[in-house]
């Protein structure tokens, strides 16, 4: 298992490099730039800013300089390296090797991307934590109750609730809850900025709205996998031996039914933790989702790259944890991986 874990972690390197390359060149293919604002800035100021942040350098490499260095043979190896390393792409990789995500262009370099992530991510993480807990605590019992009472009124009620959770978009359910709480119960769901500092009641409503879709999907998936597991021979054998029904469900059925559920929970948890632009906008949550979308609109290149890389790393680590959890749930998988 240790060797398998090391291999999976090493695979993160080419995955993250691919994310950087794709994001970098798609980002620069988009029209506009970080200095394109509603009020145009002078060309002299634009040139000064480009020089300050090395945006006047080639995106990939300086093709004429590279051709001259290549034709000069080994004597121009330094020039060859300079033609490559002075490009924006390799400058970014160099900074990334030093764990430097670069400055935020919108702040004119006064704030670093790492500082923005450190400020915004805890809020999104706490919101995602509430959403994950809600999705698991509510979704899995709903799926179990629906499977164990198949074709009963409980099953139909759980199916109806999960279908509504999947079908209704979060921006619709969020707005409906805002209207209901503010007009009918005289509760103001919109919070002041200081209320997001701790893990208080401010996160409850947006966390539930954010986790509704995941909760509904987990409930339906748990129902399907549990119904399939019920028909396996080892379940019939356990019941034939006189094993109690709670032990059959908890020890034999749930452990096997949880494998596909865990596969979904891992990436879903990473997605919820990184925040949702829609939910954060509706409930005025100062999280990463709003910052990410705003940086795209403003062409804040370093912020786009840093946030995308951070998102990708969370999803990749979540998938590694999912692979490890397979061995915990099913010893046969652990034995196969050594």
Give me the residue spans of the domains in the chain: 113-337
- Other Cβ atoms less than 10 A from the Cβ of 297: the count is 8
Burial environment of residue 39 by CB neighbours within 10 A (0 to 12, 13 to 18, 19 or more): exposed
Q: Is the pLDDT of residue 222 over 60?
A: yes
Q: Is the pLDDT of residue 104 over 80?
A: yes
Q: What confidence score (pLDDT) does residue 203 get?
A: 80
Name which residue leads in pLDDT, 127 or 56: 127
Burial environment of residue 324 by CB neighbours within 10 A (0 to 12, 13 to 18, 19 or more): middle
Residue 327 confidence class, pLDDT cut points 50, 70, 90: low
Q: What confidence score (pLDDT) does residue 41 get?
A: 76
Query: Average pLDDT of 288-315?
Result: 85
List the one residue out of 269, 332, 256, 328 whose CA is nearest residue 5.
Answer: 328
Name which residue leads in pLDDT, 200 or 120: 120
Q: Is the pLDDT of residue 331 over 80?
A: no
Burial environment of residue 55 by CB neighbours within 10 A (0 to 12, 13 to 18, 19 or more): middle
Q: What confidence score (pLDDT) does residue 190 get?
A: 62
Residue 227 confidence class, pLDDT cut points 50, 70, 90: confident
Q: What confidence score (pLDDT) does residue 61 get?
A: 61
Q: Is the pLDDT of residue 73 over 70?
A: no
251-295 per-position pLDDT tens digit? 667 777 777 787 788 777 777 777 677 788 778 788 888 788 888
168-202 per-position pLDDT tens digit? 888 788 888 777 776 666 555 566 666 677 777 77
Which superfamily, per CATH, for 113-337?
MetI-like (1.10.3720.10)
């Amino acid at each position: 298992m240790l060797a398998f874990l090391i291999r999976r972690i090493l695979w993160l390197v080419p995955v993250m490099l691919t994310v950087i390359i794709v994001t970098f060149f798609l980002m620069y293919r988009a029209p506009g730039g970080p200095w394109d604002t509603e009020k145009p800035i002078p060309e002299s100021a634009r040139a000064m800013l480009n020089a300050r942040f090395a945006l006047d350098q080639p995106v990939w490499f300086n093709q004429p300089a590279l051709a001259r260095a290549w034709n000069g043979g080994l004597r121009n190896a330094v020039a060859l390296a300079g033609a490559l390393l002075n490009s924006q792409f390799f400058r970014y990789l160099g900074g990334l090797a030093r764990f430097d995500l670069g400055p935020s262009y919108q702040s004119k370099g006064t704030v670093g991307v790492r500082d923005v992530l450190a400020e915004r991510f805890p809020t999104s993480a706490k919101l995602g934590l509430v959403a994950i807990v809600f999705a698991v605590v509510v979704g899995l019992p709903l799926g179990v109750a629906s499977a164990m009472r198949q074709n009963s009124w409980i099953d139909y009620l759980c199916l109806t609730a999960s279908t509504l959770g999947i079908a209704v978009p979060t921006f619709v359910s969020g707005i409906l809850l805002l209207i209901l709480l503010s007009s009918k119960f005289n509760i103001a769901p919109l919070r002041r900025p200081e209320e997001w500092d701790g893990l208080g009641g401010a996160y409850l409503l947006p966390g539930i709205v954010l986790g509704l879709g995941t909760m509904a999907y987990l409930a339906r998936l748990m129902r399907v996998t549990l119904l399939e597991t019920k028909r396996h021979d080892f379940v019939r054998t356990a019941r034939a031996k006189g094993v109690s029904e709670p032990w059959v469900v908890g020890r034999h059925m749930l452990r096997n039914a949880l494998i596909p559920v865990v596969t979904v929970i891992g990436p879903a948890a990473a997605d919820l933790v990184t925040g949702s632009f829609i939910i954060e906008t509706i409930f005025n949550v100062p999280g990463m989702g709003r910052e990410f979308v705003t940086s795209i609109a403003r062409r804040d290149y370093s912020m786009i790259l840093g946030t995308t890389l951070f998102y990708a790393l969370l999803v990749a680590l979540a998938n590694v944890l999912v692979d490890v959890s397979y061995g915990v749930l099913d010893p046969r998988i652990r034995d196969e991986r050594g």
